[in-house]
Structure 1
Amino acid sequence: GAPVTTALDMSQTQALTRAAAVGSAQARAGGDVVPSAPFLIASHGLLGWYWPVSGKLSVLHSGQGIYYGIVPEGDAGGDNAHMPKSLWVVSRPHNVGSNADAKTARRNFLLKVDASPTEDVHVSEGREELAAVPIASVFTHDAYGYANEVLVADTARGDVLRYALDALDGAASGGGRLPEDDEVKDAHVAMHLFTRKDHINTLLAGDSHALALLHSGGPSRAVLFDKECAAQASA
């Protein structure tokens, strides 16, 4: 049968909102309303670091459609300690629509990119990707990394894909862009939780459970699910 999911009630949603507000207030406690540290931005057409104080933008990757879901890896060290050395990010074609045929739609990729920030050197063209791995997802809207896994939102089919980070790193070890039909074998588990009408938009994961935000053409829903139960029920 279908794995059990739980829609969060209003009190739980408000608790999450309050927690976010407290974190924001703590960040402002030092008096700086605008943080000096850069933000990683994944958007239509580019992935990059943005410095809100100086207004500088250092492009890490561009020209590969829409970028979604940042999964950091490693530590840049030195002056950039606590900032990622590299990262994985989803790259998919511009809005092909959730009705795209999964067999004929252009392949979605997880890109591995050098993430070291370079505010002093303005980079407008982006950097060469370290690797590009095709994924079994269409109309992808998010990727979230936790421990040794990456969850991917396959919005066209309503699935949540669970990738082993070791398998992705193994596929990327040779560098370069893998052919679109050279999908990483046995690297993912598809959890058949929703439909394309639910429109999975955002993912958040922990040790045993994950949270999916659904935009279903009406009020949005936050749905909590057990990852292991979902994987077993979808096998």
Structure 2
Amino acid sequence: MGTALITGASAGLGLEFAWQLATARHDVVLVARDTERLERLASQLRAAAGVHAEVLTADLTDRADVERVAERLRATERPVGLLVNNAGLGIGQRFVGGDLAREEAALDLMVRAVLVLSHAAAGAMTERGRGAILNVASVAALTAGGTYAAAKAWVRTFTEGLAVELEGTGVTATALCPGLTRTEFHDRAGLRAAETYPEIAWLSADRVVATALADVRRGAVISTPSLRYQVASGLLRAMPRSVVRRLGDVRPDRD
């Protein structure tokens, strides 16, 4: 795939994607808000893996910044062969009475940016006849766990529809649907998930990313790392929605 563009590359799953792709000899374009962290990571990847590492500082809640990233995806020089739409945030509040600006920022980041960047990547990749788009959703997409779950449900359904549209083009679309994963995600959002869920519920970032990349290589549309979350996903799909709704308050994006 040559060059991979990763959003949210400075921390969490994005950081792990950057390392695994670089060590597999892919050049990388690193996208996040924190220039200092991105530059440090780029230097480490160049030294450790000998790849080209490009820094693109962008706030994906800002439409102008999203368009700059979209332009990079359309570029013909060092074309992007893999887009990893990973950037996200834990909302950490109830919708009713919550901060509406935070809800809007989350929607821009986890829905609008995914839409715009996927559109740019798909257009460029189909012209070349090859490429892959990996959108990070969540097992939460199958729950009724508030606006975070709603955003991830959109990502999952959107990616499935995109995969259908891309059939026969040489380009694939995959939705990664992990469960609870050990990263900075919950701490940065001020969430206490580590106190709420048992050790067995947690996945390692390296395993999640390795599974996702293997599933991209084989053209899978849905990637759900670990047997236990595959079983959980099956149960959530089989349960009456009335039961799923009663489980709605038990979710990792709540404080």
TM-score (norm 2): 0.31
Structure with greater strand percent: 1
Point out the structure with the larger helix share: 2
Which of the two has higher C-alpha Rg? 1
